[in-house]
């Protein structure tokens, strides 16, 4: 029996690479559902190539384009964010890859967990915004959450065979992004085009900007807390410019396990799809002779304040990580449109965290209200 997959965000960077993995293993996987936010032409192309049962476009204005393009095929065509949350509940689906960008991934992930579907998690914001709720629901419904982020996949792989051994420390590696060595004066004048040129990884625009500001690493720290049950003071962020060691785990006896590989997201994607087995891959292998040095340094949290804000948010707890995420999504969008500067993003986020209402024990509706209010507050500050 082929494993039935739903790919949420199939036209993004993770989604397209996931479909490449499926293409290499058609004997193991079948696509039941594909969803996209806005890229209707690519979604049409993917639908014709993989013949899913259902396709969903979040942008309802593009429903008729999608419907017309696929009218000759026996594919159900839906539209809207509610439809994305609904499709994950379909009985045949075995695993849901949540590769949507931003807060929009929270609701369908919750619906998939409640429907008992295994989750391959590539959407950072789900655990950043509502980590306590998500992990509680996963426990109640006995649903595995398999990490797709390269760093969390690395930690997961390091823990295989060591589940019973307490973690002394998680070491999250970071490339440092394109501005690792720049001064504050230089950071004040960097452009959007410069920020979008990541030295090691090919990612979507939003994630690439988060990587440049180190917010991405702050989000990953929050994710690691929920995925692996480790408090923030046991999570260390370490800049590793070569991006060969994807993360490490230190145990109580002082030993450290690391997962290494070339910067390629298809490896963690395929591992999440096939766990506990590993699939044969045609991707290039790591040649140690090509890397005479692997270097490490502490992150400059005085220059990249977003990382410090993430530690502040998770230590505060409650709805504060949700505030952090909402503010960040708005400022990143503004930076991409060249409405604010690189350093101004951190200035605005700091103000929003200071001014937002705090809820110590939020329910789902509180997260929804917090997200809306934090976005409005952020927009009012520039």
239 closest CA partner among 270, 214, 257: 214
Question: Cα separation of 225 and 234, whole Å?
Answer: 9
| pLDDT at residue 352 is higher than 90 | yes
pLDDT of 220 = 97
pTM assigned to the model: 0.93
Distance of CA 174 to the CA centre of its chain: 15
| pLDDT at residue 49 is higher than 90 | yes
pLDDT of 124 = 87
The mean pLDDT of 226-238, rounded to a whole number, is 97
| pLDDT at residue 73 is higher than 80 | yes
Question: Cα separation of 323 and 369, whole Å?
Answer: 10
In the sheet that holds 118-121, the strands lie side by side as 76-79, 54-57, 29-36, 3-8, 95-98, 118-121, 145-147
Q: Quick one: pLDDT band at residue 102, thresholds 50, 70, 90?
A: confident
Exposure string over 189-223, b if 16+ CB within 10 A, otherwise e = ebeeeebbebebbebbbbbbbbbbbbbbbbbbbbb
pLDDT of 197 = 86
The mean pLDDT of 321-329, rounded to a whole number, is 97
Q: Quick one: pLDDT band at residue 362, thresholds 50, 70, 90?
A: very high
- The model's pLDDT over 268-300, given as tens digits with 9 standing for 90+, comes to 999 999 999 999 998 899 999 999 899 999 999
Question: Please, are residues 320 and 358 in contact by the beta-carbon 8 Å criterion?
Answer: yes
pLDDT of 198 = 77
Q: Encoding tokens for residue 160?
A: 């295989």
Give the chain's domains with CATH numbers.
3-143 (3.40.50.720), 162-264+292-379 (1.10.1740.10)
Integer-rounded Cα radius of gyration of the chain: 20
Kindly report the average pLDDT of the chain as a whole number.
Answer: 96
CB neighbour list of residue 157: distance below 8 Å, 6 or more residues apart: 259, 271
| pLDDT at residue 322 is higher than 80 | yes
Question: Cα separation of 224 and 229, whole Å?
Answer: 7
pLDDT of 204 = 80
């Amino acid at each position: 029996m082929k494993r039935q997959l739903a790919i949420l965000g199939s036209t993004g960077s993770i989604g397209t690479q996931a479909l490449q993995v499926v293409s290499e293993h058609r004997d193991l996987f079948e696509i039941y559902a594909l969803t996209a936010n806005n890229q209707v032409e690519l979604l049409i192309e993917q639908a014709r190539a993989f013949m899913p049962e259902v396709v969903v476009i979040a942008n309802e204005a593009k429903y008729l384009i999608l419907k017309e393009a696929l009218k000759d095929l026996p594919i159900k065509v839906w539209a809207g964010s509610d439809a994305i949350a609904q499709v994950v509940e379909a009985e045949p689906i075995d695993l849901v890859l949540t590769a949507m960008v931003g807060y929009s991934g929270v609701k369908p992930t919750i619906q998939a967990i409640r429907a008992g579907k295994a989750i391959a998690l590539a959407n950072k914001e789900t655990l950043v915004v509502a980590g306590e709720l998500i992990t509680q629901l996963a426990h109640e419904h006995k649903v595995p959450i398999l990490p797709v982020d390269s760093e969390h996949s690395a930690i997961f792989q390091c823990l295989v065979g060591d589940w019973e051994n307490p973690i002394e420390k998680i070491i999250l590696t970071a490339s440092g992004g394109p501005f690792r060595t720049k001064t504050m004066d230089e950071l004040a004048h960097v452009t959007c085009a410069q920020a979008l040129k990541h030295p090691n990884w090919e990612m979507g625009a939003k994630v690439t900007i988060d990587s440049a500001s180190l917010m991405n690493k702050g989000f990953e720290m929050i994710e690691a807390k929920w995925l692996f049950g480790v408090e923030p003071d046991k999570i260390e962020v370490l800049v590793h410019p070569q991006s060969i060691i994807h993360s490490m785990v230190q145990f109580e006896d002082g030993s450290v396990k690391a997962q290494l590989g070339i910067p390629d997201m298809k490896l963690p994607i395929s591992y999440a799809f096939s766990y506990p087995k590993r699939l044969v891959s045609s991707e290039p292998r790591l040649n140690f002779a090509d890397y005479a040095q692997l270097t490490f340094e502490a992150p400059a949290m005085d220059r990249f304040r977003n990382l410090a804000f993430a530690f502040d948010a998770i230590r505060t707890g409650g709805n504060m990580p949700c505030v952090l995420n909402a503010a960040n999504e708005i400022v990143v969008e503004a930076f991409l449109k060249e409405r604010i500067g690189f350093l101004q993003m951190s200035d605005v986020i700091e103000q929003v965290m200071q001014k937002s209402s705090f809820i110590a024990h939020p329910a789902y509706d509180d997260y929804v209200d917090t997200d809306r209010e934090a976005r409005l507050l952020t927009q009012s500050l520039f």
